[in-house]
Amino acid sequence: MTTATILAFAGSARRDSWNRKVLEVAVAGARDAGAEVTVVNLGDYPMPIYNADWHEQHGVPDAMLELRRLMMAANGLLIASPEYNTSITPLLKNTIDWCSRKAPGEEPLACYRGKVAGLVSASLTTNLRTTDLTPPLVTAFNPAANSSNQTTRPALTCAPRPTCSD
């Protein structure tokens, strides 16, 4: 049986990110199940915002080549990311953009081919009602929508829908 090798990272580089904490829990579970897990901090891989003209002129940044090497060595990815305005974080989006580009001697998307991926997320929002099905941005910025029947969620929980916090 082949041992699972997983590259794990959070879409937030913030020191006290709850998503980095939730990633630690998921990594511990993967290791308990027998996986070999490498955890990286995307903040340790500086990269410019993706720009095709810059890429054509300069190539793939060295930091991204190193991250791609780690991705290629793994057979799975474990990603923890907060929700930013109903999407992923800019850091995670930029990382995906850079890693999806063709590097010397590779096909486009090479570091994603054949991978199994897991995605986890955390939310600390306490001002949203858990039963409210209003889109999260409308609810978060509409005090009238939050005036009654509020509940407080535990710090680490599976949210029924995206929320507006990290």
Half-sphere exposure of 44 (CA within 13 A, CB side): 8
Query: Do the Cβ atoms of 83 and 162 come closer than 8 Å?
Result: yes
158 assigned to some structural domain: no
Residue 123 CA to residue 121 CA, distance in Å, equals: 7
What is the domain extent for residue 88? Answer: 5-122
Residue pointed to by tokens 């937030």: 12
Q: What is the average pLDDT value for the chain, to the nearest integer?
A: 78
User: By percentage, how much of the chain surpasses pLDDT 90?
Assistant: 53
pLDDT score of 160 more than 50: no
The pLDDT tens digits of the residues spanning 34-93 come to: 999 999 999 999 999 999 999 999 998 999 999 999 999 999 999 999 888 888 899 999
Token pair, residue 27, equals 């990594």
Q: How many domains, in total, are found in the chain?
A: 1
The pLDDT tens digits of the residues spanning 20-47 come to: 999 999 999 999 999 999 999 999 999 9
Which domain CATH number covers 64? 3.40.50.360
